[in-house]
Amino acid sequence: MTTVLLVIHIMVAAALVGVVLWQRSEGGALGIGGGGGGFLTGRGTANLLTRTTAILAACFFLTSILLTLISQRSAPTGSAFDAPASSTAPAAPGSESAPAAGATPAAPADQAPRGGILDKLK
């Protein structure tokens, strides 16, 4: 469902950009449809493009909110900045024992594990 909603969101965003660029520009020549005569001229077309822009903008906001709600529901609780709960405690500073075969050595006493965001990405 998320993929379908994301594809619809991208299509609405592309259509919104296209409709905004087609509108006749008031001041400078910023829009594609800003020239003299042509395909999109007249008051009726301006009203149609304005209404289309409003509808596409509403659809864009709706899909944005729905994507946010879906991602919050499926995401794990907690923050990415929370320290990871490690199952092994670091060795005490006075106990210098040899590590078992295949075990990773503990952090030195002066370097406590920080549990930052880069450590989580490993």
At 16-75, the pLDDT tens digits run: 999 999 887 665 555 555 555 555 555 666 788 899 999 999 999 999 999 999 988 887
Q: CA 39, CA 24: separation in Å to the nearest integer?
A: 11
The per-residue pLDDT for 48 is 87
- Mean pLDDT, to the nearest integer, of 81-89? 64
Q: CA 87, CA 97: separation in Å to the nearest integer?
A: 19
pLDDT at residue 77 greater than cutoff 90: no
The per-residue pLDDT for 122 is 67
Average pLDDT of the chain? 74
Side-chain half-sphere CA neighbours of 37 within 13 A:
0
- What one-letter code names the amino acid at 73? R
pLDDT at residue 113 greater than cutoff 70: no
Contact (Cβ atoms closer than 8 angstroms) between residue 56 and residue 15 = yes
The per-residue pLDDT for 72 is 86
Q: CA 101, CA 77: separation in Å to the nearest integer?
A: 36
> How much of the chain exceeds pLDDT 70, in percent?
52
- Mean pLDDT, to the nearest integer, of 96-109? 56
Supply φ then ψ for residue 4, to 5 degrees: -65, -45
